[in-house]
Structures are given as structure tokens and as C-alpha cells.
Amino acid sequence: MTSNTFTTFVQDLVWLVLAISVVALPALGSSGIAALPQVSDALLFAVVILSCTFIVEKMDSGQGQRGVAVLRITAAALLLASLVLLGLRLSGGVFVQQEAMAVAVLGWFALFRCGGVMVRRYWDFFPGLAPGVLIVGNGDLADSMRTLVLESRGRYRLKGFIECSANGGDISEALKGMSLLDYARKNKVRKMVVSLSERRGAFPLDEILRCRMNGIEVVDAASFYEEANKRLYIENITPSWFIFSQGFRISQWRRVGKRFIDILFSTIGLLLFAPFFPVLALLIKMDSSGPVFFRQVRVGAGESEFVIFKFRSMRSDAEKNTGAVWASVNDPRVTKLGNFLRRSRLDEIPQLINVIRGEMSLVGPRPERPEFVKTLRRQIPFYSERHYMKPGVTGWAQVRYPYGASEDDAIEKLRYDLYYIKNYSIIFDLRIMIDTIAVVLFRKGGR
């Protein structure tokens, strides 16, 4: 158990004790000790809640302590705990006549847990309390980081821009004789973003190290960009950054858990949509000539190729004269029914077959065609890294960025794909699935 895990566990124990106290003390005062559950039941109750919370936290080690993820983790943990408690109640008669008290404790625990974490995490977002950021660097990279802070809608406050001379000059003139640490303290800087386009003779190592050792957070441009945008700044990262950065750790048990969810949800999805398949098949046949299902070769995990299944939404001769081309807005190759299928994402339901076969996952990078991958791999750095995970029916890029139909779009979507791989967790997958429902309901992104 790491120190962070232990700290979180102790905090959860404190919240649970407070929740039990809030519920038990009034009952004790009004009805006496007879109103309280047996000690063994109370201990079992506490163990179930803490264990379920611990399990969900471990499943979300990359996302569990950031932003609204706290709400999702708490909700998932209490749902799991409720199912376990219900099972104990039905099978072993535990918590008899204590249901109301148990529900109250769960509610107060959720309130204390979310409230405590959110107060610590979200006070930054109140006006005037956002973290102050100091940009230290030079060139276009530093300028882009400054723009990022200014356009953050209040999430960050720009506290200064210290330009490091590329010819080896020091930064004393920009600081007006102050040390970098004194300047940071005077301006209440909490985060220092080092953004150097030219490093030779320009990096004020000793000054920045003093700031770091005195409690000021120091990050590079790539890490700050990732934090602010939930995507990666691929123009400013190197292979060593992938090797030494936190994340990109997908353990075997996480893969097993992801595979279990894929099979379970895909099977349920196919069973739910199976009654509609004959109707859709008939409509597709009536709308245009050609097969009901569309089959196409795509690139999967490890750059292996597989055949994807979809309901046909284009004319059967769509690429007879053009070969492989990107889809476009109001693509003339799309049939009338196909436009509806694409907007509603119903055309992608057969991909659940690919998920069950193990060629795809419910969540992951979008599977591209080999013709496009061959070109994009040559032109975009780190493009092949997106193939370390199975492609998905939906994904972080799909819910955060419109439908991609060009090399520029491929670059933008790659930022999100690599962020997803770096920060993968089962809870992250659940968030993407929920976001996908919103995308489908509002019919965004399809072409």
C-alpha cells in the first residue's frame, strides 16, 4: 500500500466514523442503545463500505483524485457497497430493521467524502483563488503556454512571464534584481511552467531548483498542456517522456477487467438491439441496393488488421472510382437512411460483434483504415503508439473532438487517444460511456 493510498484510506475511515456518528447519536438519544445495530453488524457494515471504496479507488489510480472523478468514484463505490449489503441482507439476514440507518450512513459518508475532497480540489476554481502560474521560458513554446493560461477561463491566473535568453544571459534583468524564488513568493505563484524552445545556456537550473525545493510546483510545458486540456502536446514530447512520465501502465488485471466489461456490455447490447435488426435490414435494403452489413479492413492493437462490421450507410459503389478517401460534411456517398444511422450511431451497433471476438473494445482509439494509417504513421510523430490498445466503438477522442476527416484532425484526435492510453482506468471508461450517451442523444460528430 503506497502512502497516498494509505492517506486516502485513513480519510475515508474518518468520513465513515463521522457519518456513523451523525446518524447514531440522534438515534441513541431518542431510543437508547436498543436502536443501534449489533457491534458485529456495524463492523461488517464499515468493512464493506471501506473495502468497496478502496477497490474502486484502486481501479481508478490515474483519475481517482482529480476533479469530478471524485463524485463518480464515490457513486460507484456506494453502488457496489449497496449491492454487497443487499446480498448480505437477503442471504444472511444481516442489518435486519436497520435499512434506514444504513441508507442514512451511506448518504452522509458520500456527503463528507465528496465535500472534503471537493473543498480541497475545487477552491481553485472560485474567482480570485485559481492557482497563480509563472511562465519561465522563451520562444513560441512559452508564448503558447501564456496563451493557454490567459484562455483558461479563470482556472489559472498568469502571474508573470520570465523570458530566458537563448544566448545564455541570466534572468536577473527580467526579475529586476530579485531571485526567482522571491519573485514567485511576492506574486503568490503556485505553479511554474518551464517552456524552453531553446535550452542551450538558457535554463536557470539553480533558481528553478530552489523554487521546487521551497514548495512551488514546477512542470514542463507538455505536462501543463495535458493538465489544462486533457490531451497531450505531442509536438513537445520525446520518446524519453513516454518512458519516464507517469501513466501508460495498464496492468494485466486491468486488461482482464476491461475484457470482462467488454463481453458483458456487448452481449447485453446485442440482445437489446437484436429485435430491431430485421427492421433495420429491411430499411437499408429499401433505401439502396447492396448488402445490409458493411465490411472493411481496419487496423487494431499491435497494428494487426481485422474486418470491422457496420450497418451499411453508403452506396455500395461509394469508392469504386476514388479508392480510400476521408468522409466529408454532407458526403454525397451517404444514403438518406445512412445519414440517420450515422448521426444516431446505430450503424456502429454491429461492431459489438468485433468486441466479443476480441478485435475491439467498447472504449479505445478509433480504428483507422490501413491506407490512412500508412500515411499518418509517416507524417505524425508517435502515431503508432495509439495501437498499443485495442480500438474502441467509442473513445475519449470521439466524445471530445468532432469527426476527423483530415490529417490535421488526425493529429488532434491523437492527442486525446494518447491521453486516454496514458491515464487509462475502468472508471475513465465508464465516464467515456456516459459522455457517449450524451453525444448520441444530441447527435454530435457523425458524418
Contact 295, 309 (CB under 8 A): yes
Strand, helix or coil for residue 214:
coil
- Examine the pLDDT at 65 and tell me if it is beyond 50: no
Structural domain spans, the chain: 3-123, 132-229, 252-441
- Read off the pLDDT of residues 3-50 as tens digits, 9 standing for 90 and up: 456 667 778 888 888 888 887 776 665 555 555 556 667 788 888 888
- Read off the pLDDT of residues 219-278 as tens digits, 9 standing for 90 and up: 989 899 998 999 998 888 888 888 887 777 777 888 888 999 999 999 999 999 999 899
**Of 440 and 193, more confident:** 193
- Read off the pLDDT of residues 316-328 as tens digits, 9 standing for 90 and up: 666 666 555 556 5
- Dihedral sign from CA coordinates of 426, 430, 435, 440: positive
- Read off the pLDDT of residues 197-228 as tens digits, 9 standing for 90 and up: 766 556 778 888 999 999 899 998 989 999 89
Residues 6+ apart with CB under 8 A from 123: 129
Residues 6+ apart with CB under 8 A from 425: 59, 60, 61, 62, 63, 64, 254
Q: Global pTM?
A: 0.68
Class at the top of the CATH hierarchy for domain 132-229:
alpha beta
